[in-house]
A = this chain, B = another copy of it.
């Protein structure tokens, strides 16, 4: 058997507290937010830097996992489409994928980002560098 149970590495802290307040995309006014890392995973942050772009993967735990077609952007005037052609949180595995920029990293493992479309309390499951592999300036010496 394959172990396919996610481990939560941290939690989103955000002023977004209700699904009806959440914008549909980062580009539509998502607020700054923070990822409070579980201390057990602190070492994993080593090498991340302020200013860097990252993907934050979240587990959108309030989503319906049994829906395969949705109205895009929840707009009933648009015909339903398959969830894999949309970014709807309703999908078999509600993994949120957020491209954000790091604005601060606290010693205790709290990572601040510029704009994140996820409710306060959303579990975080991964952080990855975005764009080209990140090289520290000293690595090019």
Residues of A whose CB lies within 8 Å of any CB of B are 2-9, 25, 41, 43-48, 54-55, 57, 59, 61, 65, 68-69, 72-73, 78, 80-87, 91-93, 95, 97, 123, 125-129, 133-134, 139
Contact = CB atoms under 8 A, between A and B. Distances in A.
Given A4-B125, A43-B82, 7 more contacts: A5-B5, A41-B84, A44-B68, A47-B82, A47-B86, A85-B134, A97-B97
A140 to B, nearest CB: 12
A7 B65 contact: yes
Q: What is the oligomeric copy number?
A: 2
Contact of A93 (B6, B73, B133): B6
A75 to B, nearest CB: 11
12 contacts: A4-B8, A4-B123, A5-B6, A9-B93, A44-B84, A45-B85, A46-B80, A46-B82, A47-B85, A55-B97, A87-B128, A92-B125
